[in-house]
Structures are given as C-alpha cells and as structure tokens.
Structure 1
Amino acid sequence: MILKVIIIVTGTAWIYYRSWVAVILLIPAGVWYYIQLLDECIKRKEQEFLVQFKELIQTFSSLLNTGYSVENAVKESLKEMQVFYSDDAAILRELEIMVRQIRVQVPVEQAVEELSERTKLPDVENFAGVFVTAKRSGGNLMSIIRNTADQIGDKIDVKREIDTMLAAKKYEFQVMSVIPFGIVLYMTVSFPEFMGNLYGNIAGRGVMTGCLIIYLGAYGLGRKIIEIEV
C-alpha cells in the first residue's frame, strides 16, 4: 500500500510539474491518500470480521442447544471455526484469546466484554452488553444470540445489496480518477511546445497546481458519494 502511494505521488509530481522537488511538496497529499486507503482497508476487514462473528454466534447457539455450557460452547466453537477458516483469521485469534482466558478461570462475561473492547465494533459491543446482562441476571441467552445473529445478518445483507448497486458506479469513479492524468499525458505527447510552457514558469505551475487542487477536491467528494454507511 505504501509502495502504491509512492508510485502515485512520484507519477503525479512528474506529470504535473516535471520536478523531483514536487515529490516533497506532494507528501501531504500522499499522506492524505494513504489515510484514505488505510480507512478503506480497515472497513473491509471490519466487514469480514462481522461475517465471521455472525457465523461464530450461530455456531455458539447450536452448541448451547445441544446442551453445552456457555464456557464449553466457547471452547468447542473454536474447534468448529477452525474447520472453516485459516489460522490467520481474525475470529480465530479472538476465540483463542477467549479460550485461554476461560482456562485460567476468567469469567466468560469478562472475556466477551474484552472481545468487544478489542474489536470496537458496534455490533459486537451491543452483543457483549446484552450477553453480559443476560448471563448475570439469568436472561434468555438463546433468544439474545438468535436476535444478534439475525441483526448482523440483515446488516451484512443490506451492505452487500448496496455494494452490488454501487459496483458499476465505483468502477466508473476509478476510471474517471485516472482520466485527468491521461489527458495531461496526451496533451504532453500531442502538443509538447504548448505543455512545455506550463512547466517552465511560475504562471504555468500555478495553473497546474490549481488543476491538481480541483482534482483532489473532486476525488475526495467522489469517495464520500460512493461510500454509504449501514
């Protein structure tokens, strides 16, 4: 991801300014773009974890139905989930932590609370809050788990539907993001003398800077338009 940012910043500096000094000046824009990519990566991982968490609580619910205690259901859930996910899956890492805690006599309510603190996901936090309250007060755990699984499942389904509807728009946005660079390159090849005037004086560089600022503003606005939170 860092390499991608470096390539884009370097390419932008050459296309718009034909100067390596511009690479340094464009570092803030590169940092901003890196933050955008990082945020996108985090959201993707959070969505993946929610899918895994939904499957976990469904497995957990099935084990409780067959007569397992809450503590043993957590341990058995780890074995069940290991069948479907690779060792580097986030849900397996979290389950392993919970199982270790339970083995050293940490209350399962505390283990669930700490899971929600580590993930910082609203759905997991809501589940933990209701689960802990029900466990300590003797509430209906089965109903809580089923409702949580249904809510997370509905949220995932809505997110997938939105992603499907926006897939074409996101592709169009990616294409449109590249077009300004293509236009500048085309002008450079087709009209080298005209474009040369933009690189050799302050006024020309001011024009290119203005174009770049407009482009960055449009890019940021475009990202906000195609991102819909569920």
Structure 2
Amino acid sequence: MQISLKWQGFPWYSRKGAQQEKEHAPDYGRYPFCRKEILLYGAKGIGAAALLSWFFYHSFWAMLPLSPVVLFSFREAEKDLIRRQRQELADQFKDAILSVAAGLQAGYSIENAFLEAGKDMERLYGTDSLMAKEIRYLKKGLQNHVPLEILLADLGRRSGEADMEDFAQIFAIAKRSGGNLNAIIRRSAAITGEKIEVKREIRTLLSSRRYEQRIMNMVPFLIMAYLQLTSRGFFDCLYFNTAGILIMTGCLAVYLAALQIAKKMIEIEV
C-alpha cells in the first residue's frame, strides 16, 4: 500500500522568525562541495588526466582532449560522497528508532519519544550529526503543527533510503489504523534496525574488495612504468604516430570500460 504524504511547508521556519532565519532540510540526493573539496577533487581529476595523458600518449598536451576526465572525477566523487552520506544517515537512523522504541516502552508518547531520541543522537554522534539535525527539524515541524507521519515521510523521501521510507509508511498506516501503535512501532523499529545493520555488515565485507580494486586500477601503469624504466624505447612505436595514437586510444577505452565494470561488480544493492 502506498500512501501519499506531502507537505509544502518545507523549508521549516516559524512565521515569527521568517524574516530572520530559514533552515532548509537537506536533500541527501545532492552533495554541496565546499571550497576545500572543490580544490581536492579538482586536483585529483587533473592528476588523473595528466597520468592518462603521459602513459597513453606520452604528451601532456593530450590533457586538453582528456579534460572531461576532471568533470567525470567530480561526478564520481559526488556519487561516492552521497553514498557515504546516506549510509551515515541510515546508521544513525537505526540507533534513533531503537531509542524511540525504548522511549515508548518507558511510557513516552510517540512524539516525545522522537524528541528524546534526538538527545541520544547528540550524545552518541554530536550536535552536528545528521540525525541530530533531522530531529531538530522534526521538532520545529511539530511546533508548527505538522503531523509526525508527514515529517517522517519527508525524511524518508529526502534520504533516498528504502528502509527509512518503509518505516515512514508503516508508521503512517499504524497511526491511521488506530491499532496498538507502540507495539507496531517497536516491532517495525526492530526490523528496520536489523535490515540496516545487515547492510552495514555487507558494506564492511565489501570494503576490502574496494581496496583491491583500487590497487588493480594502478597495475597497468606500474607495468608500463617498469617497462619504460628497464627497456627504454619499448613503447616508442606507439607514440607520435597515427597508428600508435589509435592503438593507445583503443587501449584507453578498454581500460576505462574495465574500470566501470569493476566498479559495478562491487556496488551491490541490498
């Protein structure tokens, strides 16, 4: 069952303070680069273009046609940072809903249980953590008389995490059906927490494969560097002539395709 939960009041702000302050709830499908990150990933992209230019064409002038590598580097960095950001949010959300379940057992109302969970998030992860900020946004929404199920649905939508969206749907159904809300929330919180924990364990198992992939990505360059140092002139026939440029361009295309295939192999969606 799909329930459409929308609220047009985002970003949250009180009418009284609308002119002084507006807080935008973040969209976890985007990642705003800071200046330091722009310089860092720009340097990495330029370095990658320079490496490809030298080894495949033996000329840094080849960096001009290979300049899209810099943009590609930014795009891949953004994807990786978004993935990490979503993983961090999901891990913190698991602890938050387990804290909510504990609060319900202690006799809190569902709204107060979430607010108390915010205090736990601040103690566990700090006041600037993603989930601590989200619960502060949630608190402001409740103060503006926005139903909790709409706030949770918006968080699930912005997070891009299926488990968080499912939890919001279950919460909305439980609240509308008028059943034993506390028991349903505790059960769904436990199941959601277990699913997120399994995902974290899978990511841990795959982390070593990612390091292996990065090492393998450098193997062709290490082999070429070794041959150039030990057998000077071995690759000269492949540089500065039309046939050699075409061959090396084909090799570059195969290498880039292999990178993408290797990346897809270790990107397991669970």
> Same fold, TM exceeding 0.5?
yes
AA matched with 2:141? Q
Residue 129 of structure 2 corresponds to: 89
Report deviation, 1:68. 1.7
Report deviation, 1:95. 0.8
Q: Equivalents in 2 of 1:214, 1:227: separation in Å?
A: 20
Task: Note the residue ranges of structure 1 that are not aligned, 5 or more in a row.
Answer: none
Residue 151 of structure 1 corresponds to: 191
Report deviation, 1:16. 1.5
User: Residues 94 and 219 (structure 1 numbering): CA distance in 2 closer, same or farther, change over 3 Å?
Assistant: same
Question: Does residue 38 of structure 1 match 2:78?
Answer: yes
- Among candidates 204, 209, 212, match of residue 244 of structure 2: 204
Is the 8 Å Cα contact of residues 58 and 149 (structure 1) preserved in structure 2? Answer: yes
Is the 8 Å Cα contact of residues 217 and 259 (structure 2) preserved in structure 1? Answer: yes
Is the 8 Å Cα contact of residues 97 and 193 (structure 2) preserved in structure 1? Answer: no
Q: Equivalents in 1 of 2:169, 2:86: separation in Å?
A: 19
Output aligned runs, 1:1-230, within 5 Å.
1-230=41-270
Report deviation, 1:122. 1.1
Which protein is richer in helix relative to its size? 1
The share of aligned pairs that are identical, in percent, is: 38
Aligned residues: 230
Give secondary structure in 2 for the equivalent of 1:192.
coil
Give secondary structure in 2 for the equivalent of 1:193.
coil
The two structures have a TM-score, normalised by structure 2, of 0.77
Is the 8 Å Cα contact of residues 50 and 152 (structure 1) preserved in structure 2? Answer: no
User: Residues 199 and 8 (structure 1 numbering): CA distance in 2 closer, same or farther, change over 3 Å?
Assistant: same
Higher mean displacement: 47-56 or 10-19? 10-19
AA matched with 2:268? I
Report deviation, 1:192. 2.8
Deviations 1:69-109 (A, max 9, x none): 22222222222211111233111111111101111222222
Deviations 1:109-149 (A, max 9, x none): 22222222222321111111111121233222223323333
AA matched with 1:188? Q
Q: Equivalents in 1 of 2:173, 2:54: separation in Å?
A: 60
Is the 8 Å Cα contact of residues 163 and 192 (structure 2) preserved in structure 1? Answer: yes
Higher mean displacement: 45-54 or 9-18? 9-18
Deviations 1:145-171 (A, max 9, x none): 233333333323433443444344333
CA RMSD, Structure 1 to Structure 2 (Å): 2.1
Residue 32 of structure 2 corresponds to: none
Q: Equivalents in 2 of 1:112, 1:168: separation in Å?
A: 34
Higher mean displacement: 203-212 or 34-43? 34-43
AA matched with 2:162? P
User: Residues 36 and 147 (structure 1 numbering): CA distance in 2 closer, same or farther, change over 3 Å?
Assistant: farther
AA matched with 2:109? S
Q: Equivalents in 1 of 2:60, 2:52: separation in Å?
A: 10
Residue 18 of structure 2 corresponds to: none
Q: Equivalents in 1 of 2:253, 2:103: separation in Å?
A: 57
Q: Equivalents in 1 of 2:191, 2:63: separation in Å?
A: 47
Deviations 1:43-85 (A, max 9, x none): 2221221111111111111112222222222222222211111
The two structures have a TM-score, normalised by structure 1, of 0.89
Q: Equivalents in 2 of 1:164, 1:113: separation in Å?
A: 29
